[in-house]
Structure 1
């Protein structure tokens, strides 16, 4: 099953995407500038092989719901996210607010 729904964070609208897969969930919260995602995100790939795309993204691991993704500390972030002040250890919420 897949669920797409708007989510408000401090008055800003983001899109949450949840996909139920066998034995795991794929979780994303995004806007037109960047996104945070569950452990399925390959930050190293974005930083190395796709660096020219300048993707703004962060990854949280061990999360099972969109709510957990928003509140969890980010385990890794892309170089472009760092350029916006998004840092490893920052909550998903705080990272998303830097993407506005």
Structure 2
């Protein structure tokens, strides 16, 4: 099942997507500038092979819901996310607010 909802953070809208897969759930929250995602995101691949795309993204591990993704500290972020002031250790919500 795929669930798409709107998430409001300090008056800003983001799109949350939850995809139920066998034995796991894929989670993302995004806007037009970037996104955060569960542990399925391969930040190393984005930094190495897709660096020229300048993808603003962060990854949180061990999360099972959108709420947990928003509250969890990011484990890693892309180089472009760092250029936007996003750092590993920030919560997902803090990172998304930097993507405005």
Unaligned runs of 5+ in 2: none
Alignment match, 2:3: 3
Runs of 4 or more above 4 Å deviation: none
Give the aligned CA root-mean-square deviation in angstroms.
0.3
Q: Secondary structure at the match of 2:69?
A: helix
Unaligned runs of 5+ in 1: none
Deviation at 1:31? 0.2
Give the whole-Å Cα distance in 1 for the aligned partners of 2:5 and 2:66.
11
TM-score (norm 2): 0.99
Matched, 1:86 2:79: no
Matched, 1:38 2:43: no
Alignment match, 1:59: 59
Give the whole-Å Cα distance in 1 for the aligned partners of 2:85 and 2:14.
19
Deviation at 1:55? 0.2
TM-score (norm 1): 0.99
